[in-house]
Amino acid sequence: AMKKSYVSLFLLLVVISCALAKDAGKKDTKDTTAKPKLPQTLSRGWGDQLIWTQTYEEALFRAKHSQKPLMIIHHLEDCPHSQALKKVFAEHKDIQKLAEKFILLNLVYETTDKNLAPDGQYVPRVLFIGEYLT
């Protein structure tokens, strides 16, 4: 059942990535007046009702003790692709429901830990670490 969840989530993320890539060339012509900054939460807009961890170490600890896999989302606030993925992730009810099955961490900074960038340092990047921390 856990593998089925991984496959479902992976396929969903692939579809979202394809949709985002298609829309990447479109320019946004909305009013560019500055919006007031809201206080930052650990969700950073990815789903305020979900439980987010603050650090990689905390996430690993919680994953190990809860027997849940870990999902790490690397993103940047000024990256249009990261923002588009965040919008879909936060607004899609099925994604939010599936995300409840994971220990969640989102990072807006790069890390020197090679385990967090197995195929390079790019954003947005979503990594899954199994319940056995592999």
Q: What is the pLDDT of residue 71?
A: 95
Residue 87 belongs to some domain of the structure: yes
Domain CATH for 16? 3.40.30.10
CB 42 within 8 A of CB 75: no
Residue 19 belongs to some domain of the structure: yes
Burial 32-62 (b: 16+ CB within 10 A, else e): eeeeeeeeeeebbbbbeebebbeebeebbeb
Q: What is the pLDDT of residue 69?
A: 95
Predicted TM-score of the model (pTM): 0.68
As for how many domains the chain has, the answer is: 1
Q: What is the pLDDT of residue 44?
A: 87
Residue 36 belongs to some domain of the structure: no
Residue 134 belongs to some domain of the structure: no
Please report, in tens digits, the pLDDT of each residue of the chain (134 residues total).
656 666 566 656 655 665 555 555 544 545 555 555 545 688 888 999 899 999 999 999 999 999 899 999 999 999 999 999 999 999 999 999 999 999 999 999 877 788 888 888 889 999 999 866 66
- Tell me the residue range of the domain where 82 lies: 2-23+42-129
Residue 50 belongs to some domain of the structure: yes
